[in-house]
Chains A and B, each alone.
Chain A
């Protein structure tokens, strides 16, 4: 049982390049989330989805786009990477709205933008 899998685990980009982070979960969860983690800042919510075909903005959505075409996958895209987007990105999923249940996290994707 893989749980939540993120790819790639590491990536280095140049300013202005684009990329997509893939999150896959095999727990049949409705809710999926993308967070970024920066030193001393905890985790901040970028975008989330409450079901297949839905997406919504979180706390820090600017510069990112997401898609949830399949229930098990949640993609995070950077159209034009900036150094401020250097961070560790975490995907998480939940069977219930997070007000009611726990989040299951992936191992993270470390992105460096030069």
Chain B
């Protein structure tokens, strides 16, 4: 079963706009990670946030984590056409033997 569930499933925005996607999960976690997948390619790690952290930044990416609501969000600021991809959250939890469990992903289309 999927631990993380992304919302929305698909997102279409104009270049320069911000893109926000959310991830909800069901059980306690040790960390939450976000990955990007370009069409036909493998997944690439973007950012990891630990359960005792609330916010992390990496370039144009901002990730928040609310463990009380069991949710995380990924914000991409000033989006570019090259940001067009699918984005996945993945949770690491002791209950899962510290293996990552992936959600179904959010497909983001950035129109030039």
Contact surface of B with A, Cβ cutoff 8 Å = 2, 4, 30-31, 33, 35, 40-45, 48, 88, 90, 92-94, 98-105
The residue in chain A whose Cβ has the minimal distance to the Cβ of B30 is A99
Contact surface of A with B, Cβ cutoff 8 Å = 4, 33, 35, 40-45, 48, 58-59, 90, 92, 97-108
Tell me, rounded to whole Å, the shortest Cβ–Cβ distance linking B84 to chain A. 18
A42-B2, A90-B43 in contact; A99/B103 too (CB < 8 A)?
no
For B43, the chain A residues whose CB sits under 8 A away are: 43, 90, 92, 103, 105
- A40–B105 Cα distance when bound, in Å, is 8
A-B contact pairs, 12 of them (CB 8 A): A35-B102, A41-B2, A43-B102, A45-B101, A58-B99, A97-B99, A98-B92, A99-B31, A99-B93, A105-B42, A107-B42, A108-B41
The residue in chain B whose Cβ has the minimal distance to the Cβ of A4 is B42
